[in-house]
């Protein structure tokens, strides 16, 4: 079931990167920097859930990790032309380049965070009460994220804390969310929790998310514009959405292999920034058109990659 809705979450990610509501700051904040931010944490939860079920010994773990590292290196090489500093090279440009080389260019931070999150899951798989450490790590990431708001923009500290890799990484983001997925699988939460209770938690999570975004917009950002990844209410809302999707027994796209759809969605995630970069090169298209064209072009490009997946296995 979760495979079906990966496409919806991919569209959210594309909307974020295309800046779909750029002309309306308030709407953009509540969507691009708000509700659409459920997508990536849910991806991590899915990773953690199936990691717990499938990576059961050292051999399977090494196989999984090798595949993830190959995936990361392959896409890092493909995107190298977009982040390799070729003009006006200075210490700042080199620092950014090496940070992107290690932690992932743009959206590829997700793969690096998944790799380190999986390592944490494997070596802490028999430990208890890690869930509390994960919540603490996520809170720490949020504090690091918001710290730049209170630092003078022309200071060295601002340059450091405005780098996303400082907080948006495997330690503060990938591992906590993957562990939540692992926890759901290990304790059979999906089977144990009732539909009525999870529906109530979904409503509560939506209210908390709206309230948190409103507080941040009015009291923290005070009209300034910052992109955010850490939203504390996602610790509740994202697992609840995942459970809801997994508990839904209705049949969608009967006769269609949802695993294939998941692979196509993965290809869309990895390829869409190149499409956005191509469409925005002339700066003549409005953001909403860039969003729609990116969806269409990326989908057909991903279908093409999917047809050649036998030879391009290292890209999925």
Provide the pLDDT for residue 271: 97
Neighbours of 128 (CB within 10 A): 7
143 shares a domain with 8:
no
Query: How many structural domains are present in the chain?
Result: 2
145 shares a domain with 216:
yes
Provide the pLDDT for residue 210: 97
| Residues in Cβ contact with 113 at an 8 Å cutoff, skipping those fewer than 6 apart | 44, 104, 168, 169, 170, 173, 174, 175
19 shares a domain with 71:
no
283 shares a domain with 213:
no
Neighbours of 133 (CB within 10 A): 15
82 inside domain: yes
**Of 221, 249, 277, which one is at a domain's C-terminal end?**
249
Q: Is 164 exposed, middle or buried (0-12, 13-18, 19+ CB in 10 A)?
A: middle
**Of 229, 249, 269, which one is at a domain's C-terminal end?**
249
116 shares a domain with 23:
no
Instruction: Chunk the chain into consecutive blocks of 10 residues (it has 316) and report each block's average pLDDT, rounded to whole numbers.
Output: 80 96 90 96 95 90 96 97 86 86 96 96 86 95 90 78 90 97 94 94 97 94 81 97 84 58 93 95 86 96 93 87
220 shares a domain with 80:
yes
264 shares a domain with 243:
no
124 shares a domain with 233:
yes
- Per DSSP, the three-state class of 216 is helix
Structural domain of 78: 44-249
309 inside domain: yes
39 inside domain: no
37 inside domain: no
- Per DSSP, the three-state class of 187 is coil
62 shares a domain with 144:
yes
224 shares a domain with 116:
yes
Nearest one of 152, 145, 151 to 166, comparing CA atoms: 145
Provide the pLDDT for residue 253: 46
76 shares a domain with 22:
no
Sign of CA dihedral 275, 280, 285, 288: positive
Cα–Cα dist 196/9, whole Å:
24
38 inside domain: no
**Of 231, 249, 267, which one is at a domain's C-terminal end?**
249
- Contact between 113 and 44 under an 8 Å Cβ cutoff? The reply is yes
309 shares a domain with 218:
no
């Amino acid at each position: 079931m979760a495979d079906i809705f990966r496409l919806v979450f991919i569209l959210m990610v594309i909307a974020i990167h295309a800046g779909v509501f750029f002309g309306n700051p308030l709407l953009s904040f509540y969507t691009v920097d708000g509700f659409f931010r459920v997508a990536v944490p849910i991806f991590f939860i899915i990773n953690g859930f199936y990691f717990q079920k499938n990576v059961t010994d050292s051999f399977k773990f090494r196989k999984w990790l090798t595949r993830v590292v190959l995936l990361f290196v392959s896409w890092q090489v493909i995107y190298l032309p977009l982040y390799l500093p070729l003009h006006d090279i200075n210490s700042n440009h080199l620092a950014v380049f090496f940070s992107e080389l290690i932690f992932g260019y743009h959206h590829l931070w997700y793969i690096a965070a998944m790799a380190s999150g999986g390592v944490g899951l494997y070596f802490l798989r028999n430990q208890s009460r890690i869930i509390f450490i994960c919540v603490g790590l996520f809170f720490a990431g949020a504090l690091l994220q918001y710290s730049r708001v209170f630092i003078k923009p022309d200071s060295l500290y601002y340059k450091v804390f405005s780098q996303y890799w400082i907080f948006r990484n495997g330690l503060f983001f990938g591992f906590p969310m993957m562990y939540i997925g692992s926890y759901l699988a290990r304790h059979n939460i999906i089977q144990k929790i009732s539909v009525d209770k999870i529906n109530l938690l979904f409503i509560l999570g939506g209210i908390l998310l709206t309230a948190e975004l409103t507080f941040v917009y009015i009291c923290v950002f005070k009209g300034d514009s910052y992109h955010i990844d850490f939203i504390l209410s996602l610790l509740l809302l994202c697992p609840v959405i995942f459970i809801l999707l997994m508990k839904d027994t209705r049949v969608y796209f009967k006769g269609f292999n949802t695993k294939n759809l998941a692979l196509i969605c993965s290809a869309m995630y990895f390829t869409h920034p190149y499409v956005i970069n191509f469409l925005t090169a002339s700066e003549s298209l409005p953001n909403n058109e860039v969003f729609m064209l990116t969806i269409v072009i990326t989908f057909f490009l991903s279908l093409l990659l999917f047809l050649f997946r036998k030879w391009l296995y290292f890209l999925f």
